[in-house]
Amino acid sequence: MRQLSTQDTDFEQQLKDLLAFETVNDVDLLKTVDDIITQVRHDGDKVVLALTQKFDQHPATTIQELELSKQSLAEAFDNLDEKVKTALTTAATRVQSFHKRQIQETWQYEDELGNRLGQKVTPLDRVGIYVPGGLASYPSSVLMNAIPAKVAGVTEVIMVVPAPNGVLNPLVLAAAHLAQVARVFTIGGAQAVAALAYGTKTLPAVDKIT
C-alpha cells in the first residue's frame, strides 16, 4: 500500500498526482465546461438545444421537443413486462419505506427561562436529478434520487436524461413515472446541469442537483 507523508517536500505534488484521474485536471476540458455554462447562462434554451443536437445528435428541432409528457412516462410503465413492472414497483416501495424512516420533524420547546427553542425542517421547493440515459438502463438512479426527495416533501422534481439519437430506455421513463417526477427533459452533459442550476425560459432553476 502506498503511503504519503505531509512531511515530504513534494507531498502536494504527490497528492495531486494521486488524485488526478482521467480528466479531472484537464485544463482544456475545464475551459470547455466553463464556456458551456457561460453560454447557457446567457442564451438559455437556444444553447441547450444546439448543444444537445451537437453532442447527442438528438433529432429535436425545438426545445419543447426535448421535454417528455407525463403520458409518455405512464405508457413506458404500462408497456413493461409484468415481471419487470412488479420488480420496479417493489423496488420503489422499498426505497420509499426506508426513507420515510429518515424524515426529520420540526420541533420546539420553551425552556425554564421562557425562551422558545427548536428546529424547523423545511423541504426544498424544487430539485433536479441527472440520470444516465440512452441505451443504459439505470432506473435505480431515478428511484434513489427522486423518491427520497418526494418523501422529504420536495414539491417538484425535475429530471434530465441524455438521449443519444433520441433513444431512451423505457425502464428509466417508467421509473420516473413511479417516482412521480414532475418534468423530464432529454438533455445531458454540462448544458443540462447548467440549465438546472441557472434556469432557462423552458427549464426552471432548481434549489439542488443530484
Low-confidence stretches of the chain (pLDDT beneath 70)? 21-25, 135-136
Tell me the CA distances in angstroms from 100 to 150, 152, 157, 188, one per residue in order: 10, 8, 17, 30
Q: What is the CATH number of the domain that holds 136?
A: 3.40.50.1980
16 located within any domain: no
103 located within any domain: yes
pLDDT of residue 13: 87
pLDDT of residue 89: 97
pLDDT of residue 207: 97
Give the model confidence (pLDDT) of 114-127 as tens digits: 999 999 999 999 99
190 located within any domain: yes
pLDDT of residue 42: 96
Full-model pTM: 0.85
Q: How far apart are CA 139 and CA 91, in angstroms?
A: 10
pLDDT of residue 19: 75
For residue 184, what are the domain limits? 25-209
158 located within any domain: yes
| Number of domains making up the chain | 1
Q: Please name which of 177, 128, 133, 173 lies closest in space to residue 149, comparing C-alpha atoms.
A: 128
113 located within any domain: yes
Q: Angle at CA 147, nearest 5°, toward 145 and 148?
A: 75
Helical residues (DSSP H) of 79-165, grouped into ranges: 82-100, 139-152
pLDDT of residue 72: 97
Cβ neighbours for 191, distance < 8 A, ≥ 6 positions apart: 36, 39, 40, 47, 48, 51, 52, 55
C-alpha cell at 78: 404500462
134 located within any domain: yes
40 located within any domain: yes
pLDDT of residue 22: 58
56 located within any domain: yes
